[in-house]
């Protein structure tokens, strides 16, 4: 994590965790985040991330959101798409995060679309998504 600039995430109120450390804590019944946000392309590219996302869906341990340009077929029926119109305050935070990340402000959108995790219940149906 030390090679990554986490300021944009911190501006948005997120507390990034080291992936390997958090996954070890998860298997040892240690601390686990309340929410997990994952880029869909990372889900598809990294087996560790894929496994962690699927484990999170199966265990109902955290709210799960995926964002990005792809919609992994493996998550069909387990996630639903939801769009959110950002509030004025959220837009201000996002502008600050964009500036901290060195992104052009004109590329910022005021609506965000996510895949929301829907853990599968024991009877195979979907529970309510977050």
pLDDT by residue (tens digit) across 39-73? 888 899 999 889 888 888 887 777 888 888 888 88
Farthest-apart Cα atoms in the chain, separation? 47
- In this prediction the pTM is 0.64
């Amino acid at each position: 994590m030390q090679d990554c600039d986490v300021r944009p995430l911190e501006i948005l109120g997120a507390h990034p965790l080291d992936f390997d450390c958090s996954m070890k804590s998860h298997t040892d019944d240690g601390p686990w985040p309340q929410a997990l946000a994952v880029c869909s392309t990372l889900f598809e590219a990294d087996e560790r991330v894929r496994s962690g996302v699927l484990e999170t869906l199966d265990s109902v341990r955290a709210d799960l959101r995926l964002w990005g340009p792809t919609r992994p077929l493996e998550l069909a029926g387990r996630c639903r798409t939801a769009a959110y119109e950002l509030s004025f305050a959220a837009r201000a935070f996002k502008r600050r995060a964009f500036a901290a990340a060195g992104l052009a402000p004109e590329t910022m959108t005021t609506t965000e679309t996510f895949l929301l995790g829907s853990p599968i219940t024991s009877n195979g149906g979907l529970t309510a998504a977050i």
